[in-house]
Amino acid sequence: MSVKPTGHYQQRADGLYLEFDRLFHAPIEDVWYSLTNRNAMKQWVGTYTGSPATGAVKFRMNAEEGYAEDEGWEPVSILFCDPPHHFVVDTGGDAQHMRLLANLTEQGGLTAMTFGQRIYPQTDVASMGPGWDYYLDRLVAARAHAPMPEWDTYFPAFKRHYQDLTVPPRKPTPSERELEETDDGPAAEGLTAMGTVGEASAPATPA
């Protein structure tokens, strides 16, 4: 099976994300289990220690090589969780900080998943993008009981795709739109027109 890079940029309220879409012929609860259960996660991405209910969680990817038993663990903060639809987490320390999200929707026996990582100025998208393509294809393979993909298929072959991605323009927030309407909208135009009429009819009188 040939593989292609699938990441694309998406502007969200809290910043720019690199996002990936996958479609599963499975109930939403089943896909959520693959994303959040520690035993299911071992099959494709990694595992965690601690209790998500308390937020005291550490996570380690398991496709990385060379870790000793006590190495590679990163702290995880669960910012939002709405099973089986949505989660947002922060993972890693200051130097390796990542914000990750997953959105799941089900319709007609199909579950659509969007997975994303927030992009910061220091984020190496050309390396990170192929990495998530690789891990998410591992998720697909694990669920299908198929052979795992090879990392060499993804990197460096996918680097160019991520280097060439275009960042979409950011949409203004409601408060920014309100400010724009105040500055440039009908009310502002009316004030401008009133000022013009006043200037034409009589000079302004100093207070």
Q: What pLDDT does residue 40 have?
A: 97
Report pTM: 0.81
Nearest to 113 by CA among 100, 98, 102: 102
Question: What's residue 171's pLDDT?
Answer: 78
Task: Give average pLDDT by consecutive 10-residue segment, the chain, 207 residues.
Answer: 90 97 98 97 94 85 69 90 97 83 98 98 95 98 97 97 94 74 55 37 36
Q: Domain check: are 21 and 111 in the same one?
A: yes
CA distances from 172 to 14, 17, 69, 107, 181 (A): 12, 16, 47, 31, 12
Instruction: State whether 181 and 154 are in the same domain.
Output: no
Quote the CA–CA distance of 36 and 43 in Å, as a whole number.
12
The residue range of the domain holding 48 is 8-163
The reply to whether 45 and 78 lie within a common domain is yes
207 within some domain:
no
pLDDT for position 112: 99
Q: What's the confidence (pLDDT) of residue 193?
A: 40
Tally of structural domains, the chain? 2
Residue 1 lies inside a defined structural domain of this protein: no
Domain contains 53: yes
